[in-house]
């Protein structure tokens, strides 16, 4: 599948620090845990006077737009679909969910994940490389989901408001600065929120403990092994115990022995669970490595194909198929992928790569036949829809691509890859007005409101349809209002 390669490679090791307003700290002893939880404010009312849920969603939306424009957000339908599946499985088993969650990848080979207002959870590609199984990966997501459901950012901001005046603009400005310059961003954040004093450190400790407690429960309720949490964090702490510059996750989420012991006790109380090895997890991990982090040599993937473990074999062959395809060797890619498709012909990881192999070999009819068949079986699968639309556009059937993408965007209006494909499709059909309008929507999602308005005005110059002109005028007014609303918010 066509995926967006234009990811700016900013080092964002300070993102999670800024987003969670976390400070380096150590945990208190386990015996103090019960008293600490009694001291936590009531969930549901906490932070309500400081920031409403609606306002929190608007702030989250604003920051996500900026992040799309400045950070290496991955637009890969296969990885996005996998991450969404795991994340939503956890959300369905979480309490205090006040709005829809959105999960996204950042192409950063750093072990980290972060969450911010509005239900947005970002995952670095380096995280899945470190996780040994899906329960460990899901444990980190569950922890971040808990930070959101418990409104930890708002509660941190509310606590800081008692120490000095605080502006959302100052916090977000420091966050965005941290994307390009982590050290400057962190320094700006500390200045903005006045993050000094033992009271704030203690409050952050409570948040981490609360996120551990709730996250592990969510993990178990979703059918994962709750031991994934202590196993992952414990191994991370052991691995980097004496390293001068540990991963950002250990800076924003310190894991002293007391925390590891507490999470292990909680996990054992919930009961260990023998969860089968996940093929999709291994394939997602292989895809990240083969295409993005590129940290494993091909020789290691070849060794994986000779493993006694059938899932490991498939992951190794899948990675080699991607590497060959990306190196413009579609015939070699086909050799690696064919036995995988024979074993599992409806696997969307494999179908995605097979589509690109067919297109690279100029066997477009085979790609369309395969995807039409799969679309009939799974008309709501985003991987199938986006691949089908891309293959149609590449095969001079742009009208089919337009139809597929317009229907898809009704359900997923925030899909940048769908908007970019649709822009291409309209260009091929010579529908200039629709092309500029679609491009405007993609720009607006990246926070480029003025550029979006320019595109909509250009679209007006390419239509004689009065109803279309009125609709474009209405959309311009909406974008201007959105821009002013966000300015007023900050």
144 annotated active-site? yes
147 is in an annotated binding site: yes
Composition of the chain by helix, strand, coil, percent to 5: 70, 5, 30
Task: HSE, CB side, 13 Å, CA atoms: give it for residue 123.
Answer: 30
Contact criterion met (CB below 8 Å) for 284 and 54: no
Residues 326/303, Cβ–Cβ less than 8 Å: no
Residue 208 assigned to a binding site: yes
φ and ψ at residue 381, rounded to 5 degrees: -80, 115
Contact residues for 459 (Cβ-Cβ < 8 A; gap 6+): 432, 433, 434, 435, 436, 437, 440, 472
List 56, 61, 212, 441, catalytic entry? 212
Residue 29 CA to residue 35 CA, distance in Å, equals 11
Q: What angle do CA 36, 42, 45 make, to 5 degrees?
A: 145
Q: Which of 61, 76, 144, 210 is catalytic?
A: 144
**In terms of C-beta density within 10 A (0-12 exposed, 13-18 middle, 19 or more buried), how is residue 241 classed?**
exposed
Pairing type for strands 102-106 and 113-116 reads: unpaired
Give the span between the Cα atoms of 94 and 472, in whole angstroms: 40
Residue partners of 363: CB distance under 8 A and separation at least 6: none
Q: Which residues of 254-284 are buried (b: 16+ CB within 10 A; e: fewer)?
A: bbeebbbebbbebbeebeeeeeeebbbbbbb
What region does 436 belong to: left with phi over 0, alpha with psi -120 to 50, or beta? alpha
300 is in an annotated binding site: no
CA distance 347 to 278: 13
Sheet with 113-116: list strands edge to edge.
Answer: 102-106, 120-124, 113-116
Q: Is 484 a catalytic residue?
A: no
Structure tokens at 120: 């947005």
Phi–psi pair at 464, nearest 5 degrees: -110, 0
Our CA angle for 247, 121, 410, nearest 5°, is 150
Instruction: Give the residue numbers marked as catalytic.
Output: 144, 212
Q: Can you say which residues are annotated as belonging to the binding site?
A: 143, 147, 208
Binding site residues for Zn(2+), as ranges?
143, 147, 208
């Amino acid at each position: 599948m066509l995926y967006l390669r234009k990811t700016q490679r900013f080092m964002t090791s300070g993102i999670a620090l800024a987003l969670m307003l976390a400070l380096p700290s150590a945990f208190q002893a386990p015996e103090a845990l019960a008293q600490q939880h009694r001291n936590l404010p009531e969930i549901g009312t906490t932070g309500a006077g400081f920031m409403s849920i609606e306002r929190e969603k608007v702030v989250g939306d604003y920051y996500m737009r900026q992040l799309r424009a400045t950070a290496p957000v991955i637009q890969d339908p296969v990885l996005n679909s996998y991450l969404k599946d795991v994340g939503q499985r956890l959300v369905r088993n979480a309490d205090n969910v006040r709005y829809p969650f959105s999960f996204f990848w950042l192409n950063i080979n750093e072990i980290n994940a972060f969450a911010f207002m509005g239900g947005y959870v970002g995952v670095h590609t380096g995280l899945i490389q470190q996780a040994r199984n899906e329960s460990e990966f899901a444990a980190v997501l569950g922890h971040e989901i808990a930070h959101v459901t418990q409104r930890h950012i708002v509660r941190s901001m509310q606590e800081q408001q008692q120490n000095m005046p605080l502006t959302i603009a100052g916090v977000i400005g420091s966050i965005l600065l941290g994307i390009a310059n982590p050290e400057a961003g962190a320094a700006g954040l500390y200045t903005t929120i006045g993050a000094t004093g033992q009271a704030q450190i203690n409050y952050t400790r409570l948040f981490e403990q609360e996120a551990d407690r709730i996250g592990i429960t969510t993990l178990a309720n979703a059918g994962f092994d709750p031991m994934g949490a202590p196993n992952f964090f414990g191994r991370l702490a052991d691995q980097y115990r004496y390293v001068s510059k540990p991963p950002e996750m250990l800076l924003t989420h310190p894991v002293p022995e007391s925390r590891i012991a507490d999470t292990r006790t909680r996990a054992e109380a919930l009961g260990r669970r023998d969860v089968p090895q996940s093929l999709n997890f291994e394939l997602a991990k292989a895809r990240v490595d083969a295409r993005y982090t590129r940290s494993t040599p091909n020789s290691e993937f070849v060794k994986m194909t000779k493993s006694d473990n059938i899932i490991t074999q498939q992951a190794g062959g899948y990675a080699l198929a991607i590497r060959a395809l990306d190196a413009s060797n579609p015939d070699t890619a086909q050799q690696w992928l064919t036995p995988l498709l024979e074993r599992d012909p409806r696997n969307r990881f494999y179908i995605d790569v097979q589509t690109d192999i067919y297109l690279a070999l100029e066997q477009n009819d085979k790609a369309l036949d395969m995807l039409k068949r799969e679309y009939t079986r799974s008309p709501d699968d985003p991987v199938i829809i986006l691949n089908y639309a891309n293959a149609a556009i590449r095969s001079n059937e742009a009208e089919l691509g337009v139809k597929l993408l317009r229907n898809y965007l009704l359900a997923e209006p925030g899909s940048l890859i769908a908007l970019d494909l649709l822009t291409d499709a309209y260009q091929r059909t010579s529908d200039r007005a629709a092309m500029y309008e679609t491009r405007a929507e993609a720009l607006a999602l990246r926070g480029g409101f003025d550029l979006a308005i320019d595109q909509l005005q250009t679209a007006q110059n390419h239509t004689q349809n009065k109803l279309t002109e009125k609709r474009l005028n209405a959309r311009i007014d909406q974008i201007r209002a959105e821009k002013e609303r966000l300015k007023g918010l900050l």
